[in-house]
Amino acid sequence: MKLITAIIKPFKLDDVRQAVSEVGVQGVTVTEVRGFGRQRGHTEIYRGAEYAVEFVPKTKIEIAVVDALVDPVIEALAKAAQTGKVGDGKIFVFELAQVVRIRTGERDAGAI
Amino acid sequence: MRIPSRPVVFGLLALSIQAAAAAAPSEPTVVAASTINSGDTAWMLTSTALVLLMAIPGLALFYGGMVRKKNVLATLMQTFAITCLVSVLWWLIGYSWAFTPGGPLLGGGGRALFNGMTFIQGPPARLSVSHLASTIPETVYAMFQLTFAVITPALIAGAFADRMKFSAMLVFMAAWSLLVYAPIAHMVWEPSGWLNRAGVLDFAGGTVVHINAGVAGLASCLVLGKRLGYGREAMAPHNLTLTLIGASLLWVGWFGFNAGSAGAADGRAGMAMLATQMATAAAAFSWMFAEWISRGKPSVLGIASGAVAGLVAITPASGFVGPTPAVVIGVVAGFLCFIAATSLKHWLRYDDSLDAFGVHGIGGIVGALLTGVFASKEISGLDGSVLTQLKGVAVTLVYGFAASFVILFLIDKTIGLRVTEEQEREGLDISLHGESIE
């Protein structure tokens, strides 16, 4: 089992949700985050006072998958989130030690 | 109504014909209810509500949106509390000192606790009227003027946003309302006041309200010092939607402020309304284009600030000028207030947080001086003089600054003016009021 974490552009969220659903993902956790990478922030000016906004708003999604689904999900996710411009984001993949479905107590593959 | 008593051109024709009075009264008097003009009274009741709308929620939201999220409730609270405070002070003595005859500097004490302000059902029905607006009940005139007395100190709060103790603010506003606002209002608007006798023109409060509040704001940000982290930390407005709603409510309410200052539902009120709209629109565009050209983008805060600058500048002139001079006043005020708010305060290194001086002080001065240039005898029966206007501006700047500075200095040395560093970092909402919006 793996935990796939992706940082994407916020407006790509719906495309990504649809793409990963189509390859069999049944649950996604979404968080609004801020951060910086190669994409630069921007400057805001209020009555002549300039503020550099260095952290760009992004959306973080987390998906737990069985090993067989890792590659199809990464492929679908990357394709859906890509615009080709700087700031499209990143995908991180972690080993997942355990999964428990709280309602039934099912574990691991059965709980994903 | 706010016309200097020399030459006497009161809109009192109706009264003098009906009562066949030999001379217009120079103090509040009790008259027969039949002398009241219902059209004037209806408009002044409406104007009073409109001007209160400018303060709460208009100004409160305008300022509230511009501060950081941790100070929004404290900022709204200031305007609301000032509204309550000044209302009570107006009853106590403020109205009497400002709008009853007395010396050249201050009115008399005869209307303390609104003593003598009456309405008697009769028959015959009688009521008191002010000598400054004799076709409407004095109750309505006193309430209309109360709303001006409320919004003026509330404007000052923009300069010291984010760092004054609430207790100190209440003491400052109480002292300022009685020791600065009431005397200046008397000097400029009451026929026994010396600036009124000198012929200073101020239709709706460019001098009394805006220069006065602006320079008090300058004094307060100088005495208090800059906000912690000023120039290093981000202090961007937290919600410009609130600010734009506030600016819009100010704009709407300002028709009560300016057209209401005619004291009557008449042609001059209509002209004041027209001039107000023209100047505001022109100033909003003037600020917006100045910003667009010099900084690259036309901002929401910019167009809203420009509109307020235009409203401020046309305040003394409305009722004296036609629509074309109003456009000129708007263009000049929008541009100069833009310079004041975006450059002047950075050059001079004071932290006028929300530009109370930059918009109200500078806009008020522009309006007061240009009133001298453009005042039309056709509309007002009076000629303007830039020199006379300059006198009104200078007196208000000097007295307003000095008196505000002394009051603030004394408060600072006694109960303390500024919150602690820890309270300021935490935000005034939590540290002073125990509440937050998050």
CATH number, domain at A52? 3.30.70.120
Q: How confident is the model at residue B23 (pLDDT cuts 50, 70, 90)?
A: low
Nearest chain B residue to A49 by CA: give it: B342
Q: How confident is the model at residue A52 (pLDDT cuts 50, 70, 90)?
A: confident
- Helices and strands of chain B, counted as H and E runs: 20, 3
Pairwise pLDDT comparison (B7 vs B32), residue with the higher score: B32
Cβ–Cβ contact A51 with B under 8 A: yes
**Is it the case that residue B3 has pLDDT exceeding 70?**
no
Whether B280 is in a domain gets the answer: yes
For B57-74, what is each residue's pLDDT tens digit? 999 999 999 999 999 999
Q: What share of chain A is helix, strand, coil (3-state, %, to 5)?
A: 30, 40, 35
Contacts of A45 in chain B (CB under 8 A): 295, 297, 299
Please state the rounded mean pLDDT for residues B228-242: 92
* Inter-chain residue contact A46 with B305, CB threshold 8 Å: no
Instruction: Give the pLDDT score at A50.
Output: 84
Residue ranges with strand state E in B51-195: 119-120, 126-129
Least CB-CB distance to A47: which of B234, B297, B342?
A: B342
Q: How large a percentage of chain B has pLDDT more than 90?
A: 90
The structure tokens 């541009």 sit at B335
What is the token pair recorded at A66?
Answer: 């069985």
Relative to beta strand A49-53, strand A89-95 is: unpaired
Instruction: Give the pLDDT score at B365.
Output: 97
Contacts of B343 in chain A (CB under 8 A): 48
For A20-45, what is each residue's pLDDT tens digit? 999 999 999 999 999 998 888 888 88
Whether B244 is in a domain gets the answer: yes
Whether B438 is in a domain gets the answer: no
Please state the rounded mean pLDDT for residues A99-106: 95
Residue ranges with strand state E in B159-203: none
Least CB-CB distance to B342: which of A44, A48, A51?
A: A48
Q: How confident is the model at residue B15 (pLDDT cuts 50, 70, 90)?
A: very low
Q: How far is CA B286 from CA B243, B334, B339, in A?
A: 19, 5, 11
**Is it the case that residue B107 has pLDDT exceeding 50?**
yes
CATH number, domain at B76? 1.10.3430.10
Cβ–Cβ contact A54 with B under 8 A: no
Cβ–Cβ contact A11 with B under 8 A: no
Number of domains composing chain A: 1
Instruction: Give the pLDDT score at B199.
Output: 94
For B115-136, what is each residue's pLDDT tens digit? 999 999 988 999 999 999 999 9
Cβ–Cβ contact A45 with B under 8 A: yes
* Mutation choice for B interface testing from A47, A50, A54 by most B CBs within 10 A: A47
- Domain with A45, as residue range(s), is 2-110
Number of domains composing chain B: 1
Q: How confident is the model at residue B194 (pLDDT cuts 50, 70, 90)?
A: very high
- Residues B140 and B44 sit within 8 Å (Cβ to Cβ): yes
- Domain with B23, as residue range(s), is 13-433
* Mutation choice for B interface testing from A34, A42, A46 by most B CBs within 10 A: A46
* Inter-chain residue contact A48 with B343, CB threshold 8 Å: yes
Q: How confident is the model at residue B409 (pLDDT cuts 50, 70, 90)?
A: very high
Q: How large a percentage of chain B has pLDDT more than 70?
A: 95
Please state the rounded mean pLDDT for residues B144-162: 97
Please state the rounded mean pLDDT for residues A54-75: 95
> pTM of this prediction?
0.88
- Is ipTM over 0.90? no
**Is it the case that residue B318 has pLDDT exceeding 90?**
yes
Instruction: Give the pLDDT score at B7.
Output: 38
Q: B-side interface with A, Cβ within 8 Å?
A: 234-237, 295, 297, 299, 301-302, 305, 341-343, 346, 355
